Amino acid sequence: KAGVTQTPRYLIKTRGQQVTLSCSPISGHRSVSWYQQTPGQGLQFLFEYFSETQRNKGNFPGRFSGRQFSNSRSEMNVSTLELGDSALYLCASSLLKAGTGASYEQYFGPGTRLTVT
C-alpha cells in the first residue's frame, strides 16, 4: 500500500510569492492534517480536513489556507511568502472508523521543504 505522498519535495520561492503544496493520502484515508516544522517553533498544527471540510485550524495567519478534494487529496497554499515561512511542511492522513469518529494513527508523508529567499 502506497504511503502518504507530498509534492514537491523541495521548493525555493522568493519573498512575496505564493506557493501551493500537495498531499495525497493513503488510499481510503479521508482525514488529512497539515503541520509546519521549523527549528524555532517545532511542529505546529496548521489545519485538518475531512470529507472536503476543514474541521480544525491552528493559529496561523490567513495567508495559510488549504482545501481537500473529493478524492481526499489536499493542497495547502501560502500567499505573500515571508522569510519565516521557510519550513518543512508535513502532511498526515488518518483512516476514520465509520460512525464513531475514532481513527487509527496518523501516517505522515516525507514533507515538502520550502525555502523562502
Partner 1 sequence: AQKVTQAQTEISVVEKEDVTLDCVYETRDTTYYLFWYKQPPSGELVFLIRRNSFDEQNEISGRYSWNFQKSTSSFNFTITASQVVDSAVYFCALSLKPEGKSTFGDGTTLTVKP
Cell of 37: 516544522
Residue 83 or 105: the one with the smaller Cβ distance to partner 1 is: 105
Length of the chain: 117
**39: cis peptide before it, omega within 30°?**
no
Q: Residues near 98 by Cβ (< 8 Å), separated by ≥ 6? A: none
Residue 40 or 62: the one with the smaller Cβ distance to partner 1 is: 40
Residues at the contact surface with partner 1, assessed by CB under 8 A? 31, 33, 35, 42-45, 48, 55-56, 58, 88, 90, 92, 94, 96, 101-111, 113
Minimum separation from the CB atom of position 42 to partner 1 (A): 5
* Distance in angstroms (rounded) separating the CA atoms of residues 21 and 25: 13
Minimum separation from the CB atom of position 56 to partner 1 (A): 4
